[in-house]
Amino acid sequence: MADITRRFGWRHLRSTPTAHVRHHRRGQLVHDGPGLSFWFRALSAALCEVPVDDRELAMAFHARTSDFQDVTVQATVTYRISDPATAAARLDFSIDPDTGIWRSAPLEQISTLLTETAQQHALDVLARTPLAAALVDGVASVRERIGQGLGAEPRLEATGIAVVAVRVVALRPEPEVERALRTPAREQIQQEADRATYERRAVAVERERAIAENELASRIELARREEQLVEQRGTNARREAEENAAADAVRAEAEAARAVRLATAEAEAAREVGEARAQAQAAWLRVHADVDAATLHALTATRLAENLPRIDSLTVSPDVLTGLLAKLGRPGGEQA
């Protein structure tokens, strides 16, 4: 939209580089070109502003395939006005001299022309194509047909409109048909997923089985080693007991031999002591055998005197006393 300002009854227009402005005054073309800036009088001026930049037109329409299936076509057409003078002559691009706004809607007319022309060519190619083929190769064929059709459309050339590019964004069937078409693919994908799941589970089970076998083998080996350890401990205990028993036997034999030797020595000592005592007693008897009775009585009295402190009582029979008194009464100590 052109920028228009007012000063003292005059108007000043300033356009953009992408807008082609045509200024007529009293039927004569005064200014013609893009990006213009000039003064004019509103009462005598006729202004047109034609955009010359590339514009995108999105369109969506329904079509029917050869097997009577409805599809939706989404496309985008890029166009520009290549001949502003022709476009201004065929379409109303006039603007208000006070506000710079278009008096009508020329771009909507161009959009309607492009949409209907593209739809006509798309319907023509899809009407001879079954749904399956349209979904597979329909985008390329529809894009090519629309491009060719718009390029050969005489009305567009006569209006000064050039088509820059055509893009077909999507070609979709009805939702029910799309779900029906997706079902086999989904089933196949689900089967692949299930097969992958089963294979993964089988691998996991195989790994678990291998782990369980390894654990079982480890337990068996551990039990076998424990059994060997128990046997070795038993062997060690038995050997220790045998060695202890042998040591005890040796110790007992040594103690028995020592006891025997001690007993023998004691017996020998006792025998020698007995023999010595017997020999001493025999010698004593032999010595006393030749001594008279009075000497023996004196020795007896001496022994008696030596043992008096240990005699609690003494009994003298009348016979002994009578004899002693008789002996003592004899003159000169005679002996009987």
Q: What is the mean pLDDT of the chain?
A: 85
In 3D, which of 1, 222, 235, 203 has the Cα closest to residue 101? 1
Tokens, residue 265: 């020595």
Is the pLDDT at 134 greater than 90? The verdict is no
The helix (H) or strand (E) run that includes residue 169 is strand 161-173
Identify which has the larger pLDDT, 9 or 107.
107
Q: pLDDT tens across 256-278, in order?
A: 888 888 888 888 888 888 888 87
DSSP H stretches of helix in the chain: 84-90, 106-126, 131-151, 154-159, 175-289, 293-306, 318-329
Provide the token pair at 278. 């017997």
C-alpha to C-alpha distance for 75 and 21, rounded to whole angstroms: 31
Bigger pLDDT: 287 vs 246: 246
CA–CA separation, 148 and 121 (whole Å)? 9
* 174: confidence class by pLDDT, cuts 50, 70, 90: confident
Q: What is the largest CA-CA distance in the chain?
A: 223
Tell me the mean pLDDT in the region 148-166. Answer: 91
Vertex 324: Cα angle to 319 and 330 (nearest 5): 130
pLDDT at 324 over 80: no
Find which of 80-84, 138-142, 304-308 is predicted with most confidence, using mean pLDDT: 80-84
Q: Is the pLDDT of residue 218 over 80?
A: yes
Residue 90: how many CA atoms within 13 Å on its side-chain side?
Answer: 17
| Average pLDDT over every residue of 71-92 | 93
Residues 129 and 301: their CA atoms lie apart, in Å, by 171
Residues 88 and 95: beta-carbon distance below 8 Å = no
pTM, full prediction: 0.54
Alpha-carbon dihedral of residues 109, 110, 111, 112, nearest 10 degrees?
Answer: 50
Residue with more model confidence, 305 or 99: 99
335 pLDDT exceeds 50?
A: no
Q: What residues have CB less than 8 Å from 75, skipping those under 6 apart?
A: 58, 59, 60, 118, 122, 142, 143, 146, 166, 167, 168, 169
Taking the C-alpha atoms of residue 61 and residue 115, their distance in angstroms, rounded to an integer, is 9
Question: What are the residues facing 39 on neighbouring strands?
Answer: 12
pLDDT for 22 beyond 90: yes
Q: In the structure, what pLDDT confidence band is assigned to residue 54 with cuts at 50, 70 and 90?
A: very high
Joined together, the tokens standing for residue 245 give 């028993």
Residue 295 scores a pLDDT above 80: no
pLDDT digits (tens, 9 = 90+) for 175-200: 888 788 778 877 888 888 888 888 89
Q: What is the pLDDT of residue 166?
A: 93
pLDDT at 8: 82
Q: At what angle are helices 106-126 and 131-151 packed, to 10 degrees?
A: 140
- Percent over 90 (pLDDT), the chain: 34
Give the three-class secondary structure for 184: helix
Assess contact for 12 and 41: CB atoms under 8 A: no
Structure tokens at 61: 């329409």
Tokens for 203, please give them.
């691998």
Q: What is the mean pLDDT of residues 63-70?
A: 88
Mean pLDDT of 223-252: 88
209-224 mean pLDDT = 91
Which 3 state secondary structure label does DSSP give 38? strand
Q: Nearest CA to 63 among 55, 73, 54, 53?
A: 73
